[in-house]
């Protein structure tokens, strides 16, 4: 990406991403990786989570690619809807994996303060990866969010919530979606040049 030193910012969801979660594996594998560490992973508060994401982005001047999972995807959407332009410009793109539909009827009480989900176009390229059997968001809902956010979408077959429980520990195939995102970022940069 034009020889920029890109930083990967891992944005976990509710309850964090345990050591065996693919996000933790990616953090160990990708160069220049950091994690957004929330004060309370079990009882998330929207304003706190958005503020911590903003702080993490602001703490380093290098351009970032966000790698979000579940509630982390919703946090990214809320942050993007509120963030000042100078911070938005630091984000080159976002990989949004298994977004949690916090407006679904069976949404856990702990997550309901993240509703309503922002529906503005994200001001950077994004790739959304969902599943056709994710209890946190149906494939139709994932596609709806992708359309609202301007994300390229991929729906995996039988992948569940794309987490440890669904067998996605290292999730090596996910790097293909990260690569696709990098390609979209390059195309976006060429169009703006």
CATH number listed for the domain at residues 7-192:
3.40.50.1820
At 174 the pLDDT is: 96
State residue 117 phi and psi, 5-degree precision: -75, 125
At 1 the pLDDT is: 43
pLDDT digits (tens, 9 = 90+) for 64-74: 999 999 999 99
Q: Which sequence spans correspond to the domains of the chain?
A: 7-192
Secondary-structure breakdown of the chain: helix, strand, coil percentages, each rounded to the nearest 5: 40, 15, 45
- Strand 64-69 versus strand 91-97 pairing type: parallel
pLDDT digits (tens, 9 = 90+) for 24-43: 999 999 999 999 999 999 99
At 2 the pLDDT is: 46
- Compute the distance between CA of residue 187 and CA of residue 182 in angstroms, rounded to an integer: 9
- Compute the distance between CA of residue 79 and CA of residue 81 in angstroms, rounded to an integer: 5
Rounded mean pLDDT for each run of 10 residues along the chain, 193 residues in total: 77 96 96 96 98 97 97 98 96 98 97 97 98 98 98 97 92 96 93 80
At 5 the pLDDT is: 87
């Amino acid at each position: 990406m034009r020889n920029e030193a890109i930083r990967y910012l891992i944005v976990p969801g509710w309850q964090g991403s345990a050591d065996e979660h693919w996000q933790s594996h990616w953090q160990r594998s990708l160069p220049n990786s950091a994690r957004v560490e929330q004060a309370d992973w079990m009882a998330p508060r929207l304003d706190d989570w958005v503020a911590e994401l903003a702080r993490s982005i602001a703490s380093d001047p290098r351009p970032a690619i966000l790698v979000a999972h579940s509630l982390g995807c919703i946090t990214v959407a809320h942050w993007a809807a509120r963030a000042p332009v100078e911070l938005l410009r630091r984000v080159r793109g976002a990989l949004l994996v298994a977004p949690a539909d916090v407006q679904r009827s069976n949404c856990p009480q702990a997550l309901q303060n993240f509703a309503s989900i922002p529906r503005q176009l994200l001001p950077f390229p994004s790739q959304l990866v969902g599943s056709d059997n994710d209890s946190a968001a149906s494939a139709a809902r994932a596609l709806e969010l992708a359309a609202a956010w301007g994300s390229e979408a991929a729906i995996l077959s039988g992948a569940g919530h794309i987490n440890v429980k669904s067998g996605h520990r290292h999730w090596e195939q996910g790097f293909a979606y990260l690569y696709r995102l990098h390609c979209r970022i390059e195309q976006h940069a060429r169009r703006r040049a």
